Amino acid sequence: MKVAFLGPRGTFCEEAARRYFSKLGTVFIASSDIPEIFRKVERDEADRGVVPIENSTEGSVNLTLDLLHECPLKVSGEVELRVRHNLIVRPGMKMGDVTVVMSHPQALAQCRRFLVENLPDAKRMEVASTAKAVEMLRRTRGAAAIGTALAAEVNKMDILVKGIEDNPNNFTRFFVIGRSPAPPSGEDKTSIAFTVPNVPGSLYHALGEFAVRDINLTKIESRPTKQRPWEYIFYIDFEGHTSEPRCVEALEGLRKKAAFLEVLGSYPKARS
């Protein structure tokens, strides 16, 4: 099994991939960006890909949403990962040695309280990713990085302080993508994309197909179609698998009301 993830080594995306694909012998392939993950799976250079889809505090990853609509791949799984930030240093360094803290801008912002209280005089340096920041410790004097425990392990660095994030309820959700759908597990979700005619009540009546069958919607979001100004694609996640009779009926009813409908995938709910 070859699994592509958003690199470099030590990212939250790699952590999610390793959690989902825990079997020995799995090969993990770092990719430079999200489109490259989709390309690797489409070209059979990887069997699966793991991509971020949304963060509980920052919202959805729009690029992933767009690519799911544009590419023929299917969502076959999901992973929910708590975003746990750590202060990472070169071996032997102490808090008093730190003069600069490096990380992705979001990570720096998510650890603001800790930095103000513990490293008020240290310079903040923004870099492309948390994993990149940990890589840079080797050649940056007096530096600490905010990153994952995996990044510290990969780069043979020390974790000076664990769990320095301000919000302990910060989670990122990842999709597992592949060329084939997932069979029903008994505890599933389905993701779809659709458009409706631009007339009064069209979205209301479309969503009614789920309400009348007591199907729970877990997410609804819109994105521009990019074809005409002010026209939108709606993305919905709901509980159930496309093989279940009530879900089949709901999708058949929606198809009659929608101008366009695409099933992005049915997949097992994330394991807690």
Retrieve residue 206's tokens. 């479309």
Q: In what order do the strands lie in the sheet with 158-161?
A: 123-126, 100-103, 143-147, 86-89, 158-161
Query: Is 172 a residue of the active site?
Result: yes
Contact 12, 149 (CB under 8 A): no
Query: Is 174 a residue of the active site?
Result: yes
For 72, the 3-state DSSP assignment is coil
Q: What are phi and psi of 115, to 5 degrees?
A: -65, -40
CB-based contacts of 141, cutoff 8 Å, min separation 6: none
Q: Distance (Å, rounded) from C-alpha 178 to C-alpha 77?
A: 9
Catalytic residue among 148, 172, 190, 195: 172
Catalytic residue among 12, 21, 38, 174: 174
- C-alpha distances in Å from residue 132, one per residue of 79, 122, 153: 23, 19, 14
Contact 253, 213 (CB under 8 A): no
For 49, the 3-state DSSP assignment is strand
DSSP summary character for residue 97? G
Which letter, b or e, does each residue of 221-248 get, where b requires 16 or more Cβ atoms within 10 Å of its Cβ? beeeeeeeeeeebbbbbbbbbbebeebe
Would you name the residues annotated as active-site residues? 172, 174
